[in-house]
Amino acid sequence: MAQRQGKGLGRGAADALLAVIACAWGSSYLLIKVGTGAVPPFSLIALRFGIAFVVVAAIFSRRLAKTRVSTLVRAAVLGALMFALFGFLMTGIGQTSASNAGFLTSLAVVFVPVINAVVRRRAPGARMTAGVAVTLLGIALLSLHGSLTLSPGDALCVMGSIFYALFIVATDRLSAKEDPLLLGVWQLGFAALFGLVATNLFEAPALPADPVHWGAVLGLALVCSAFGFVAQPVAQRATTAEHAALLFALEPVSSAVLAFVFLGETLDARGMLGAVLVIAGVLVASLPARRRSAISPSPETGVRA
């Protein structure tokens, strides 16, 4: 299925929006690194998604009045997956670099086709497989250490990438059945709710203590969450889960650039080669399919290209 039918964005516009979302999400690793320095992980989840939900709910208040029970149920599923993803990521990023966390979380680009192949009982196409392989090689060059082992923080980020893949696949399936904008808004509310419960159970709830940390929280809430997670189901409805995952592989490249500029984290020659391969893998899988040159007669239309 190359493109979803019905109202919504065209494939090109959806791809462009997903790429912008990926770059916006790339900033989240830097902001999480800053934010978790003063606020524990579950508190940060509750804050970022809670603020994001209040903002977008105020903007789309009239649209929210049309919410159905089925929308809330599906949004709760996505919110739970989102909470699990960021629970692992925020815990892991405290034990590894922001750039490493970005690239390891993008292993979702590999897990998504595997999960979809199992769910749909259909293997991905050759171009998609080639793109995934090139992207995986790039991520390996960027993230694996000389001994080919992962640190505990890296392992937690890999767990986060598994839930990231499940989140992308679930969004692909559920956004086809609901208003994707409403789904995007309500999933923020449920993620905030799960974060609030977890922080009261496992942490001492805390708020940012200074403008720098508040700035990180607001950046996560408004740019990465209010924009990114509301626009994602709208854009992803016009494409496939595998294609969306490959575009999201641009996220760690953005993360590495921002980590270099603001945190002084640098990439060596191998890391830069890995970043190039990630971009190349996305481009390979995103090339438009070649049109068939042959024509075949159709009883209804005469000739079909």
SS (H, E, C) 40-56: CHHHHHHHHHHHHHHHH
Q: 114-173 pLDDT, tens per residue?
A: 888 888 777 777 777 887 788 778 877 766 655 556 678 888 988 998 998 899 899 888
What are the residues whose beta carbons fall under 8 Å from the beta carbon of 195, sequence distance 6 or more?
A: 42, 43, 44, 45, 46, 47, 49, 50, 83
Q: ∠56-62-66 over CA atoms, to 5°?
A: 105
Q: ∠141-219-165 over CA atoms, to 5°?
A: 45
CA atoms within 13 Å, Cβ hemisphere of 288: 6
Give the H or E element holding residue 304: strand 302-304
d(CA 234, CA 238): 8
Residue 2 has pLDDT above 50, yes or no: no
Alpha-carbon 1 to chain mean position: 21
pLDDT the model gives residue 285: 66
Residue 3 has pLDDT above 70, yes or no: no
Better-scored residue on pLDDT, 94 or 3: 94
pLDDT the model gives residue 295: 36
Give the pLDDT band of residue 185 (cuts 50, 70, 90). Answer: very high
d(CA 220, CA 223): 6
pLDDT the model gives residue 78: 95
d(CA 235, CA 8): 8
pLDDT the model gives residue 77: 96
Q: Which of 165-179, 231-245, 255-269 has the lowest mean pLDDT?
A: 255-269
Q: Any idea what DSSP says for residue 5?
A: -
Better-scored residue on pLDDT, 298 or 262: 262
CB neighbours (10 Å) of residue 228? Answer: 22
d(CA 79, CA 49): 10
pLDDT the model gives residue 305: 29
Per-chain mean pLDDT for the chain: 79
pTM for the predicted model, two decimal places: 0.76
What are the residues whose beta carbons fall under 8 Å from the beta carbon of 38, sequence distance 6 or more?
A: 206, 208, 209, 210, 213
Can you tell me the mean pLDDT for 183-206? 93
